[in-house]
Amino acid sequence: MEQGADLIIYSTTKHVDGQGRTLGGVILGSTALIRETVEPYMKHTGGSMSPFTAWMMVKSLETIDLRVRAQTATALALAEALADHPKLHRMIYPGHCSHPQHALVKQQMGEGGTVLSIDVAGGQEATFKFLNALQIVIISNNLGDAKSIATHPATTTHQRLPEAQKTILGITPGLVRLSIGLEDQADLIADFHQALACC
């Protein structure tokens, strides 16, 4: 909002909950926008969070700063460890100096966040060998959890897109999206190195 957004829609399922236990979301805006537009819509459609889920979200907010800062630091350490890895075509992390919008990220966000992507050389076959070799990181389509998660967008979240559109978006057969959790940095880096050695 400090950067001029009038409306923010945020998935509390991710970092607010932080452990993949609940579904929820928050809509933020001016009092007038919320009272005149959002509230009537929510009242008519019934989209409201249960009291227990809301309580869990509020309790989780107590540790969000500590959790996300730790996850972000680990994501940067992992990005630095993988930046020039010979088994990767590329590593994409907004908090790394190699990212084309790194300066903008530092200005707007301060840090690069908890999600990074890698593009494994050797296509889908090599990528699946890498994913199957991971020992700490789990394979799932979620993100923003306390545990590290790997997703293969080409066969999961973006599988229905035409190949031409995947190409435009940079979704290659080797692309892996990584949501970094709270595990020990050195353990995660070692897990990625041993898994990449298997492909």
Contact 82, 29 (CB under 8 A): no
Give the end of a domain, one of 22, 37, 61.
61
Quote the number of domains for the chain.
2
164 and 77 belong to one structural domain: yes
138 and 53 within one domain: no
In a domain, 1, yes or no: no
In a domain, 70, yes or no: yes
Please tell me the distance from the alpha carbon of residue 27 to that of residue 50, in angstroms, as a whole number: 16
Structural domain range at position 95 = 64-197
Q: Give the pLDDT confidence score for residue 48 in this predicted structure.
A: 82
Q: pLDDT tens digits, the chain, 199 residues: what are they? A: 888 899 999 899 999 999 888 899 999 999 999 999 999 998 889 878 899 999 999 999 999 999 999 999 999 999 999 999 999 999 999 999 898 888 888 888 888 999 999 999 999 999 999 999 999 999 998 888 999 999 999 999 899 999 999 999 999 999 999 999 999 999 999 999 999 999 8
Give the pTM: 0.88
Residue 49 lies in a domain: yes
Q: Has residue 56 been placed in a domain?
A: yes
The letter for the amino acid at 129 is K
Least Cα distance to 93 among 103, 85, 107, 83 occurs for 83
Same domain, 73 and 130: yes
Q: State whether 96 and 181 are in the same domain.
A: yes
Q: Are residues 68 and 57 in the same domain?
A: no
- Helix 185-197 and helix 123-133: axis angle, to 10°? 140
The reply to whether 31 and 72 lie within a common domain is: no
- The CATH code of the domain that includes 165 is 3.90.1150.10
